[in-house]
Amino acid sequence: MQKTKFTEKSATPDMSRKLLFIVNPNAGKKISDQLIDTIKKEFPKDIYYQIVIWKDKDHFKEVLDILHSQDYTDAIAVGGDGTVNQVAKSIVGTGISLGIVPAGSGNGLARTLGLSMNVAEVIKQIATGKKTTIDYGTVNDIPFFCTSGVGFDAHIGNLFATSKKRGLQSYIKITAREIIKYKSKEYILKFNNQEITRKAYLITIANAGQYGNDFYIAPQAKLNDGKFHVVILKPFNIITVFGVLINVLKGKANESKNIETFTTEKLTIERKWKDAIHFDGEPEFEGEVLNYICHPQKLNVIVGDKITAV
């Protein structure tokens, strides 16, 4: 039985663009019928589009069959960062452009691309179709487009994924509860023909500068510079943590004395245990060796006028 539901807009004279809106109704904010109605109301009638409601992970292949068999030019992810990651990794290197209607908790890539958090406004941006090409990263062949990492943020990502409550408030509550309890761990990092050992609270490998909600951990990162900006947060105490948070909130994390940064195209992280990692906020457990590779200029994306990360 087909579980993926879709509604189709009648074909129009202008077929130079064909858009497939891929809707995840289980995304962070729980996508409502009202959001879908807004897409139908606001999207121009002279551009062909189809809306596909992706019910669960088991039926995403069905969505991909629709996307790749019917000559769509744009895949529009309607959901949170996990939905964006799932759609984006299915179209890298294909020439199909990624658009985003943000409806998640953080919306990291959408914000970085200068896309509006207002549905009606972002629909206009998608219709305009201003585009650029960006890099993406892989960790042990797992794609990511904003950030990946180990340590505290991966720990929080794992707890948040299993939490019954979603949204920013739940994320903040979990973070506040765990921030002092979590202990720094030792890592070996190999990059740019050198090897260093660091005890770190977290290590973030940034393709884009933010986790989401304009929370910039790597403000100098660019989406199309062909390299990662790696951030190492050193151990801290209850006093210094506030200084780190203030710098992050100001978009000046790189100026914190507790943060070490460097850039590289490839990075290997070695640790003595299997533990959580995250990629675009999605948690996963991986082994002792993590291999990161930056893949330059591989994904076409729709952007807003105020994009500054390229």
> What CATH number is associated with residue 264?
2.60.200.40
148 and 12, same domain (yes or no): no
- What is residue 4's predicted lDDT score, i.e. its pLDDT? 55
φ/ψ bin of 7: left (φ > 0), alpha (ψ from -120 to 50), beta (otherwise): beta
Tokens of 141: 């062949």
118 and 65, same domain (yes or no): yes
186 belongs to a structural domain:
yes
153 and 281, same domain (yes or no): yes
61 and 85, same domain (yes or no): yes
DSSP the chain: ----EEEEPPP-S--S-EEEEEE-TTSTT---HHHHHHHHHHS-TTSEEEEEE--SGGGHHHHHHHHHHTT-SEEEEEESHHHHHHHHHTTTTSSPEEEEEE-SSS-HHHHHTT--SSHHHHHHHHHHT-EEEEEEEEETTEEESSEEEEEHHHHHHHHHHT-S--SHHHHHHHHHHHTTT---EEEEEEETTEEEEEEESEEEEESSSBSSTT-BS-TT--TTSSSEEEEEE----TTHHHHHHHHHHTT-GGG-TTEEEEEESEEEEE-SS-EEEEETTEEEEE-SEEEEEEEEEEEEEE--TT----
State the Rg of the chain over Cα.
20
- What is residue 27's predicted lDDT score, i.e. its pLDDT? 65
14 belongs to a structural domain:
yes
Of the residues 135, 157, 190, the one at which a domain ends: 135
Burial of 307 (0-12, 13-18, 19+ CB in 10 A): middle
Q: What angle do CA 274, 278, 281 make, to 5 degrees?
A: 155
34 belongs to a structural domain:
yes
130 and 178, same domain (yes or no): no
Number of domains within the chain: 2
Of the residues 135, 162, 187, the one at which a domain ends: 135
180 and 285, same domain (yes or no): yes
97 and 117, same domain (yes or no): yes
39 belongs to a structural domain:
yes
Q: How many other C-beta atoms are found inside a 10 Å radius of the C-beta of residue 169?
A: 10
**Ranges of residues in the chain whose predicted pLDDT is under 50:** 1-2, 10-13
Model pTM greater than 0.85? Answer: yes
Q: How far, in Å, CA of 128 to CA of 140, rounded?
A: 36
96 and 127, same domain (yes or no): yes
Placement of tokens 């799932």 in the chain: 86
- What is residue 30's predicted lDDT score, i.e. its pLDDT? 60
- What is residue 208's predicted lDDT score, i.e. its pLDDT? 95
126 belongs to a structural domain:
yes
Burial of 183 (0-12, 13-18, 19+ CB in 10 A): exposed
- What is residue 13's predicted lDDT score, i.e. its pLDDT? 46
309 belongs to a structural domain:
no
153 and 227, same domain (yes or no): yes
36 and 129, same domain (yes or no): yes
The CATH number covering residue 114 comes to 3.40.50.10330
117 and 152, same domain (yes or no): no
310 belongs to a structural domain:
no
111 and 150, same domain (yes or no): no
- What is residue 2's predicted lDDT score, i.e. its pLDDT? 45
Of the residues 119, 135, 151, the one at which a domain ends: 135
Range of the structural domain that residue 286 is part of: 142-297
231 belongs to a structural domain:
yes
Report the length, in residues, of the chain: 310
Nearest to 189 by CA among 276, 290, 260, 278: 290
